[in-house]
């Protein structure tokens, strides 16, 4: 499509996707391969590329865009805050930072302290350092885990292709099979500082923890004086239909890490320490220049306020159930995992990348984190009609691609 032929309502960027892709390859470091599309604008659950093509966004920037694209509440919060006070450093306090910390503790329902960072990896780095303040250095993580790509977070991440080019990593990390209580029991002793676990493993293809796993983890870690660290970077802030995925288990962890959906597209992460763990880090132990930035915390408050006022927790559950029921009936789907609007679609053949490619061409954005799984993490504002369209289009693609 030439620039002259683009339809009304497209993004308005005076270059084509091919042109920008070529410039990207010439100027941007190749750490991601070549991205599939050049996106220009978004509204709700829909995005458009620079060539005027429209897509239903079923990935939400990998579970980041909790309120979709260009949500008025975030636009207003960020604009107002930036016009008032944009950045102050951590030599000073700003009101949005304090209000967000209080709100997160209120949502968790327990006393504690919050450390703000800029991403999930940084939140996990903070938790990693907090665990060292126990006087112990061993950490137990899980096979299939993903906790980030900075050196400390990478040490906790199990995927060999991510880890091996950068070894040696911070040591004394033991990996146990996800969901295996006996293996966890064998790995945790009185030398372990913390067990870090995702309530649902997102990067592994949306793998659910077995019933009772988190409760068993709580009992085992408590018995040995180790911290229970729940990584909610992908699952937190309403993604699964609860504010936090672990709360359904009734477990109270020592450390909770958040990011992705918290800022609704504005970078922010948080490490929340509950109970006695709240005093592990003290002055000079850790820091960040941008963490708790007034603009980022104002955005996060807008996200939380909107989820509350618009009933998006129940909405996420309903739309997630709709996707699971619709896709779960397809003969090429062996299971639909996850909760709320974090779903794994398990295919009967290892051809998820082929389906992902076909989905782009059909106007859907999905992700293939493993050969046989699609990951869906659409905005929490996904409508019933959009969910129905997603089911119908993906079902047709499965018929076509896996025929």
Positions marked active-site: 146, 231, 260
- Rounded CA gap, 341 and 20, in Å? 32
- Rounded CA gap, 322 and 305, in Å? 25
Residues, the chain: 403
What sign for the dihedral angle of Cα 201, 202, 204, 210? positive
List Cβ neighbours of 307 (8 Å cut-off, separation of 6 or more).
66, 67, 237, 238, 313, 380
Query: Is the CB of residue 382 less than 8 Å from the CB of residue 352?
Result: no
- Rounded CA gap, 390 and 388, in Å? 5
- Distances in whole angstroms, Cα of residue 44 to Cα of each of 120, 139, 276, 364: 24, 40, 41, 14
């Amino acid at each position: 499509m030439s620039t002259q032929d683009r339809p009304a309502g497209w993004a308005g960027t005076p270059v084509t996707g091919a042109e920008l892709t070529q410039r990207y390859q010439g100027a941007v470091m190749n750490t991601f391969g070549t991205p599939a599309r050049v996106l220009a604008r978004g509204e709700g659950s829909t995005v458009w590329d620079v060539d005027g093509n429209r897509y239903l966004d079923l990935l939400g920037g990998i579970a980041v865009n909790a309120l979709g694209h260009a949500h008025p509440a975030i636009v207003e919060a960020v604009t107002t805050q930036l016009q008032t006070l944009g950045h102050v450093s951590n030599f000073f306090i700003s009101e949005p930072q304090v209000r967000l910390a209080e709100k997160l503790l209120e949502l968790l329902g327990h006393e504690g302290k919050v450390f703000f960072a800029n991403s999930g990896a940084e939140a996990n780095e903070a938790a990693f350092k907090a665990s060292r303040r126990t006087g112990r250095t061993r950490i137990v993580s899980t096979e299939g885990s993903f906790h980030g790509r900075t050196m400390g977070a990478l040490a906790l991440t199990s995927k060999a292709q991510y880890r091996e080019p950068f070894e040696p990593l911070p040591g004394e990390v033991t990996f146990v099979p996800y969901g295996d209580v006996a293996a966890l029991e064998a790995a945790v002793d009185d030398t372990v500082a913390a067990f870090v676990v995702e309530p649902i493993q997102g990067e592994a293809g949306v793998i659910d923890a077995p019933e009772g796993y988190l409760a068993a983890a709580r009992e085992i870690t408590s018995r040995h004086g180790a911290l229970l660290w729940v990584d909610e970077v992908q699952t937190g802030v309403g993604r699964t239909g609860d504010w936090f995925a672990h709360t359904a288990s009734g477990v109270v962890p020592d450390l909770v890490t958040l990011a992705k959906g918290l800022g609704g597209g504005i970078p922010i992460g948080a490490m929340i320490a509950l109970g006695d763990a709240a005093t592990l880090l003290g002055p000079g132990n850790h820091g960040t220049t941008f963490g708790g930035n007034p603009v980022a915390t104002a955005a996060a408050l807008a996200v939380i306020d909107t989820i509350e006022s618009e009933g998006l927790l129940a909405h996420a559950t309903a739309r997630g159930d709709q996707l699971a029921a619709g896709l779960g009936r397809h003969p090429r789907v062996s299971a639909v995992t996850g909760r709320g609007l974090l779903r794994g679609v398990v295919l009967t053949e290892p051809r998820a990348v082929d389906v992902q490619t076909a989905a782009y061409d059909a106007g859907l954005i999905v992700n293939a984190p493993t050969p046989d799984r699609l990951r869906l993490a659409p905005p929490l504002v996904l409508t019933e009609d959009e969910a129905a369209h997603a089911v119908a289009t993906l079902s047709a693609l499965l018929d076509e691609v896996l025929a």
